[in-house]
Chains A and B, each alone.
Chain A
């Protein structure tokens, strides 16, 4: 399977190399040397996909992307980072993710060595943020960061539930629409942002009550457990549960299992939403049991290369803001067909990253929406022209 995939990739690269770069002054372009120190593990879906989109984009945008994996060890991550910074042949850009604030020493080392850095997915927070201020001030080589807007994602997921419930008239005897929220945890910024989105949406809807915000540690089984508890409680309270908001796809799948166990039919008398664009979630969407899964943030890998290409070519994204926040998108049954395969097969070379580069005079303005993505997609090889 892997060999087959590699062959596909090789073919794709060859195709890309052969195809003429549209809109870009190819003569002025210089090949970039980019190193990404991944905090994740080999096999960890999200970070793998980030790296894959990075490489795919590199191939499209003449950038050599070297991915170093920390294997979830932040000391290793720092050593890798220091090693990169200390190289005689320094890369043009170093991409880091500030998980657990472990990237800060590398940022400083890079500053000293004059290596330009970009923070991906996790930027400086707390004391570090105050200490160093915005990018390119104290750390002049820290170009900026690229993150996803998960609060909007949370709100979008909630609103999808509310809209469906209103349409189906799933109000409880008290006239309210009762929703259960299942968060991953209560401390990580990624979780807090999503949960805040739920609260934002619920607060904006007077006919909606979030009965509980339960936490399931991002896992399916715990989510199934708390959902079962909730459903039991709701039955005793004579509440008609209208929807379950889950902070990620596994927890949404757990909720689905509990719903089934409680004798309810998801998609028919209760709706569940998730986040992550996972294969299983897409399958449930296709089966009509899951209302949507929000996500697409693994594309940050590809988008980061787009930013750096533009920057290297003189179109600095900081013209708009050194901080680029990418909106996620929901996959529903409606758009499932367009991106389902892409995600399933990880055929990221189908994405034409060159189309996402900033227009001249509009540096820092990007459209990374799902629609833009869909329209950029080349037809899969197997599908034929």
Chain B
């Protein structure tokens, strides 16, 4: 999960529901419209009422005028007052008066004093009989709008209340219907999404309606279905190796978690086989990657066939496989099972019409199901596998105490590397290279040692792979280079400026283009010529990175350094290398020297190498000369230089310098100086 996602989840924005938003968007408008409509209607009604009141009072005045005309004309003023009094039942009328044709008030009635909104209407009183038609007087009525105002006010209040109630009812209706038609379907979809998020499965939303949400839900469910299939495939892909269909490394982690639970009892034994195919790279290189893939598929099928249903097979990647048998009776049966697997693997396979015999190493770890460190099984089996691969490829190595001890030592050393550098625990020892004729020292090979505070002096064969794995190769090389330059200074100071020093370059350094520049700078710092340095490389480093290595070597050589091919004759020795790379010197591996002079075959090989070197103009150095017969044999075969315990063991520079001093004095090489540590120089 990426950062922003987590942030988004960590502080989710406050949710505002669609329903709420709808209500907020609708209700004010609704309320406003209702209020305006009410006000509008009421205003219209108010004016109409005012007009009606005006008209009614006018009608009253007219009708009263008719009634009053005769009594007024006939001067029955009491009757006039009586008629006038009758209209006072109308509560809007505040006062009324009748005037005769002289303008005198004949009758006047006041219902109530009204100080507000009084309107007045006046109508003539016309009298007529058969003979005359005259205006007998005038009626005036004062009336008040108070009742209309009060009516309007109360109706407005009523409308307001009704409007509010209607709005409330609408809100409730919207709320309910929106919940039913929107909220609920959304919640159903959200619920399906939440459940899907929780366990990664695709759940359908439970909506059965046929409206838009029903359609949405159907589309969502169809999508969920698609997603579900995709998730299943993705889940399978995530946990399985696409090539072989076997569970992958990820599955292994999950499997380990459930392993103890799957076992019958805590005491039942679990066999964990870590299988690594030997030289799978060679098969890839020889037959191509398609064939390599086919090879892997074959192997996986064999493993599948070889195991019982309760067993579990996985491919961790590359040529690594794991087989777990959840219940074995004892370690011996587990070993037998592992060997059985090896046998199954080792059946020949036809690749491109060629028979190939697969080989594999197996690291076997057996642990009780109740072991709390069950999750470490791969690491433990890997320790055993490491042992098998390094000590006896093509076999089964069972994890035992010794292996674990080795593992722990390796791990300790690996962890101690930074401290080793920081505290100067790495020491450079030097072993002389001598002229086999004169036995005079002509050069020194710088050999790294680790003076570990707990484990004592450790040879490079043990810790160099650890240095390489921890990525400290370059640092160590610079360290050795600097020490060598300082040694050259001291040699020169001791009167032996002719002695050159050889440094071992690990394969990774050959790919480093900055090496040449660094070497030049270091030489300049110590004021020594680069030609005093000899750089030893192995054949393996050339093979792995031909172009890059070639370029680096050319640069180094241009600086004046000598290039030596170390351990010649072992590994993927190719004579072509001798021509392709700018080499000056070849060091014959001690494997060819140790049996000399007894082994005629080795003598023949060394002879061929010597003659080839002579032809190519390469200087030869024989490594591992321990006995005088060997030295003699080398001399006979034309090997000029040698190196070995016969002449000098690797030792600190001071001891080397002392020896040189002594040699100057005695002009003899002492050969019985005691060995401090075995020679692991690569």
Interface status of A225 (Cβ within 8 A of chain B): yes
Contact B76 A226, beta carbon cutoff 8 Å? yes
| Sample of 18 further A-B pairs with CB below 8 A, known A213-B74, A230-B75, A232-B104 | A212-B73, A212-B74, A212-B75, A215-B74, A225-B76, A225-B78, A226-B75, A226-B76, A229-B75, A229-B76, A233-B75, A233-B100, A233-B104, A236-B100, A236-B103, A236-B104, A237-B101, A237-B102
- Complex-state Cα separation, A312 to B168, whole angstroms: 105
Interface status of B77 (Cβ within 8 A of chain A): yes
- Interface 0/1 of A218-237, CB less than 8 Å to B: 00000001100110110011
In the complex, the chain A residue whose C-beta lies closest to that of B78 is A225
Which of A214, A225, A226, A233 lies at the interface centre, i.e. has the most chain B CB atoms within 10 A of its CB? A233
Minimum CB–CB distance from A309 to chain B (whole Å) comes to 44
In the complex, the chain A residue whose C-beta lies closest to that of B75 is A229
B contact set with A: CB distance below 8 Å: 73-78, 100-104
Q: List 27 A-B contacts (CB under 8 A).
A: A212-B73, A212-B74, A212-B75, A213-B74, A214-B74, A214-B75, A215-B74, A225-B76, A225-B78, A226-B74, A226-B75, A226-B76, A229-B75, A229-B76, A229-B77, A230-B75, A232-B104, A233-B75, A233-B100, A233-B102, A233-B104, A236-B100, A236-B102, A236-B103, A236-B104, A237-B101, A237-B102
Instruction: Give the residues in chain A near B78, CB-CB below 8 Å.
Output: 225
Instruction: Give the residues in chain B near A229, CB-CB below 8 Å.
Output: 75-77
In the complex, the chain A residue whose C-beta lies closest to that of B106 is A229
A contact set with B: CB distance below 8 Å: 212-215, 225-226, 229-230, 232-233, 236-237
| B contacts with A: majority SS | loop
Instruction: Give the residues in chain A near B102, CB-CB below 8 Å.
Output: 233, 236-237
- Complex-state Cα separation, A230 to B78, whole angstroms: 13
Minimum CB–CB distance from A199 to chain B (whole Å) comes to 8
Instruction: Give the residues in chain A near B74, CB-CB below 8 Å.
Output: 212-215, 226
Instruction: Give the residues in chain A near B104, CB-CB below 8 Å.
Output: 232-233, 236
Minimum CB–CB distance from B572 to chain A (whole Å) comes to 153
In the complex, the chain B residue whose C-beta lies closest to that of A215 is B74
- Complex-state Cα separation, A154 to B3, whole angstroms: 126
Minimum CB–CB distance from B495 to chain A (whole Å) comes to 167
Instruction: Give the residues in chain B near A213, CB-CB below 8 Å.
Output: 74
Instruction: Give the residues in chain A near B100, CB-CB below 8 Å.
Output: 233, 236
- Complex-state Cα separation, A17 to B75, whole angstroms: 56
Instruction: Give the residues in chain A near B73, CB-CB below 8 Å.
Output: 212
Which of B75, B77, B104 lies at the interface centre, i.e. has the most chain A CB atoms within 10 A of its CB? B75
- Complex-state Cα separation, A236 to B102, whole angstroms: 6
- Complex-state Cα separation, A212 to B73, whole angstroms: 8
Minimum CB–CB distance from A259 to chain B (whole Å) comes to 15
In the complex, the chain B residue whose C-beta lies closest to that of A237 is B102
Instruction: Give the residues in chain B near A226, CB-CB below 8 Å.
Output: 74-76
In the complex, the chain B residue whose C-beta lies closest to that of A239 is B102
Minimum CB–CB distance from B367 to chain A (whole Å) comes to 138
- Complex-state Cα separation, A226 to B76, whole angstroms: 6
- Complex-state Cα separation, A237 to B137, whole angstroms: 13
Instruction: Give the residues in chain A near B76, CB-CB below 8 Å.
Output: 225-226, 229
Instruction: Give the residues in chain A near B101, CB-CB below 8 Å.
Output: 237
Which of B73, B77, B101 lies at the interface centre, i.e. has the most chain A CB atoms within 10 A of its CB? B77
- Complex-state Cα separation, A225 to B371, whole angstroms: 136
In the complex, the chain B residue whose C-beta lies closest to that of A214 is B74
- Complex-state Cα separation, A225 to B76, whole angstroms: 8
Minimum CB–CB distance from B100 to chain A (whole Å) comes to 6
In the complex, the chain A residue whose C-beta lies closest to that of B129 is A213
In the complex, the chain B residue whose C-beta lies closest to that of A230 is B75
- Complex-state Cα separation, A229 to B73, whole angstroms: 10
- Complex-state Cα separation, A230 to B74, whole angstroms: 9
In the complex, the chain A residue whose C-beta lies closest to that of B100 is A233
Minimum CB–CB distance from A126 to chain B (whole Å) comes to 19
Minimum CB–CB distance from B502 to chain A (whole Å) comes to 157
Instruction: Give the residues in chain B near A215, CB-CB below 8 Å.
Output: 74
Minimum CB–CB distance from A81 to chain B (whole Å) comes to 37
- Complex-state Cα separation, A212 to B74, whole angstroms: 7
- Complex-state Cα separation, A21 to B75, whole angstroms: 56
- Complex-state Cα separation, A347 to B101, whole angstroms: 51
Which of B73, B74, B78, B101 lies at the interface centre, i.e. has the most chain A CB atoms within 10 A of its CB? B74
Minimum CB–CB distance from A217 to chain B (whole Å) comes to 10
- Complex-state Cα separation, A212 to B76, whole angstroms: 12
- Complex-state Cα separation, A213 to B103, whole angstroms: 21
Instruction: Give the residues in chain B near A214, CB-CB below 8 Å.
Output: 74-75
- Complex-state Cα separation, A236 to B105, whole angstroms: 11
- Complex-state Cα separation, A233 to B74, whole angstroms: 11
Minimum CB–CB distance from A30 to chain B (whole Å) comes to 52
